[in-house]
């Protein structure tokens, strides 16, 4: 909640990375 703009993209990248690993 300190850096919503910086936290949001970070979470999105991590989620995408995890999903990519699961998908692949």
| pLDDT single digits (tens) 1-24 | 455 655 566 666 777 777 766 654
Q: What's the pLDDT at 13?
A: 74
Say how far apart CA 12 and CA 5 lie, in whole Å: 11
Q: What's the pLDDT at 16?
A: 72
Residue whose pair of structure tokens reads 């995890």 in the numeric block:
18
Residue whose pair of structure tokens reads 């990375």 in the numeric block:
17
Cα separation values, 23 from 4, 5, 12, 16, 19, Å: 27, 27, 16, 10, 6
Q: What's the pLDDT at 14?
A: 73
What does the H/E/C string look like for the chain? CCCHHHHHHHHHHHHHHHHHHHHC
């Amino acid at each position: 909640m300190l850096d919503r703009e910086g936290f949001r993209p970070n979470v999105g990248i991590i989620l995408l990375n995890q999903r990519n690993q699961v998908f692949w």
